[in-house]
A and B are shown apart, each in its own frame.
Chain A
């Protein structure tokens, strides 16, 4: 074929395909999945566009084989392949590059992977790309997700036979997207909660990709936290399809935990080689292959050279004060137990009571109480420094449980104070510049997230319940009266995100409407 004709064919192909793709992407964003006749028309149109693009792509590729010197057509072939397989291109090229916008656009073209929830699928892939990029910009994606995908007010309407065409749960892709957005903001607790919700959604073959990606993230997260039992359970669960990487992580977890079902070395090596990222997982492979290590090291000396229980407790405390150990929770629990042994020992109480009597002090109880309070205060400070969570403290004995309850109470009290200050300002109509209002929001969110990080989802839920109404009122005031729509929207998005994570349907519905109103 003549070079000029090749150029012409390539250009015609390029612009036709571009036009079709723009139409298809636009349509994907507009389809309301409500089982209505409009949805049927939009889906048929979308399908026609899919077929047209695919036929065009196949035609161009076929042309390459009949043309004697198809140099330019090779380029067109490459584009055809991308259009025929948008998901692999997104996952293996755009996501590692961190190209969130392109990932969003291309993933939305993947009918096969994300079925009729392609907008949420697009947001999920964009969120994944954001996870990989140095500068995660999640606000716009979250706005898009909150306003158009995650809340489906049309559930149950439309034609019944059309509704049957829809996936059984249309939340799965949205949950994946919201979970990955939370992870991109480093809110791993929230991400974990959202992705675990996927397991409770009704199974549907059309959600395979979202489920596989969710379980892969959860396994990577479990590996990072050292929760190998969870990795093991996730990789062996039946409600999730598994990627080769998930299967390898499961095998490694079985060996690390020392489970009787642990695979042999050959099977482990096979799983490792098939994992798709053998180089990155090599350290884990070596660890899983090696002998089982001692699970919890000893952080308190077995003897403190004649110091007794008190000496051991002080020795552990001193070591903790010097720096964060490899396993902060385990170290804190061991030191706290050493204190309990030292301070609760009957001999200690007897000896102090005897000395109190000798010195003419009515009782030795206040002395022990004072020491206990000092120890608790210091252990609390170390727990906060090392990021030890409330559930670890509660499982670490009476002393640490008291420490945990005290910190939780203080944190919730401080959050209440901050909320009351904002409420009083709204009631008194004391106006601050937009940037300062945004600063207030950021400080409040930081305080709230610290509570969630320490107390887990349950405490986060308590904090959310106390803050939802007053903070929503603040946002409405900013949005309607102050015309500070940017800050108001940011608050609505934050409340929507939390309602989604904490599974509060009433708040989710309200905040979805608010976010949509601000779009």
Chain B
């Protein structure tokens, strides 16, 4: 099943704030830097932007993100999701509830053919 949380909110590229085509060394460097900042309790490392809105960054998330990017095949799939820019927003899309539903809900009952 498609887990949007895992694909987007916990996507390693968003967690590490890296572009999908970054190199392995860049991942290591950025990961270590973020771990250090989190250890020092720096506010600017506490959150990261995603298309689902800002998410909380923890040391565990950073370690998991670094580990996830080791396997090239797994990384390829994560890159696919990270193609959506972190500053894009997919949160606001919703259905227009005011639009007519088409059918007449409760027609059978109203017309004497139901309870």
Partners in one complex: yes
Contacts from A to B (Cβ < 8 Å) = 95-96, 128, 131-134, 136, 183, 216-217, 220-221, 223-227, 245, 277, 280-281, 283-284, 287, 293-295, 297-301, 304-308, 310-312, 314-319, 321-323, 325-327, 331, 348, 351-352, 355-356, 358-361, 364, 366-368, 370-371, 374-375, 377-378, 381
CA distance A295 to B72 in the complex (A): 46
Choice from B2, B97, B115 contacting A326 with Cβ under 8 Å: B97
A-B contact pairs, 12 of them (CB 8 A): A183-B113, A220-B114, A224-B103, A224-B106, A224-B107, A224-B108, A315-B92, A321-B4, A326-B100, A348-B80, A377-B2, A378-B2
CA distance A220 to B80 in the complex (A): 48
A366 cross-chain contacts in B, Cβ below 8 A: 73
Beta-carbon contacts under 8 Å, B81-100 to A? 81, 83-85, 87-97, 99-100
**Chain A residue with Cβ nearest B111:** A220
| CB of A332 to closest CB in B, whole Å | 12
Say whether B104 contacts A283, CB under 8 Å: yes
Choice from B73, B95, B113 contacting A361 with Cβ under 8 Å: B73
B106 cross-chain contacts in A, Cβ below 8 A: 224
* Besides A304-B84, A306-B85, A325-B95, 9 other A-B contacts (C-beta < 8 A): A183-B114, A224-B104, A226-B104, A304-B93, A318-B4, A319-B94, A327-B101, A355-B76, A375-B2
Say whether B103 contacts A307, CB under 8 Å: no
**Chain A residue with Cβ nearest B110:** A280
Choice from A95, A133, A284 contacting B115 with Cβ under 8 Å: A133
B17 at the interface (CB under 8 A from A): no
| CB of A185 to closest CB in B, whole Å | 12
Q: With A96-B112, A326-B99 given, is the CB distance from A318 to B73 under 8 Å? A: no
Say whether B102 contacts A304, CB under 8 Å: no
Say whether A352 contacts B112, CB under 8 Å: no
Say whether A304 contacts B113, CB under 8 Å: no
Choice from B80, B90, B101 contacting A311 with Cβ under 8 Å: B90
State how many residues of chain B have any CB contact under 8 Å with chain A.
Answer: 47
Say whether A367 contacts B84, CB under 8 Å: no
CA distance A224 to B105 in the complex (A): 5
| CB of B96 to closest CB in A, whole Å | 5
Chain B interface, >50% SS class: loop
Choice from A128, A281, A307, A351 contacting B51 with Cβ under 8 Å: A307
B60 at the interface (CB under 8 A from A): no
Say whether A280 contacts B111, CB under 8 Å: yes
Count contacts between A and B, CB distance < 8 Å. 172
**Chain A residue with Cβ nearest B103:** A226
B20 at the interface (CB under 8 A from A): yes
Beta-carbon contacts under 8 Å, B1-42 to A? 1-4, 7-8, 20-21
CA distance A381 to B109 in the complex (A): 30
Say whether A217 contacts B113, CB under 8 Å: yes
**Chain A residue with Cβ nearest B20:** A355
A283 cross-chain contacts in B, Cβ below 8 A: 104
CA distance A307 to B103 in the complex (A): 33
Say whether A318 contacts B90, CB under 8 Å: yes
B79 cross-chain contacts in A, Cβ below 8 A: 352, 355
| CB of B55 to closest CB in A, whole Å | 15
CA distance A366 to B84 in the complex (A): 20
Say whether A304 contacts B89, CB under 8 Å: yes
CA distance A300 to B79 in the complex (A): 23
CA distance A217 to B107 in the complex (A): 10
Say whether B90 contacts A367, CB under 8 Å: no
A305 cross-chain contacts in B, Cβ below 8 A: 88-90, 92
CA distance A133 to B75 in the complex (A): 60
**Chain A residue with Cβ nearest B87:** A306
Say whether B75 contacts A359, CB under 8 Å: yes
**Chain A residue with Cβ nearest B4:** A318
- Which interface residue of B3, B99, B102, B110 has the most chain A CB atoms within 10 A? B102
- Which interface residue of A227, A311, A323 has the most chain B CB atoms within 10 A? A311
Q: With A314-B8, A355-B20, A378-B1 given, is the CB distance from A306 to B102 under 8 Å? A: no
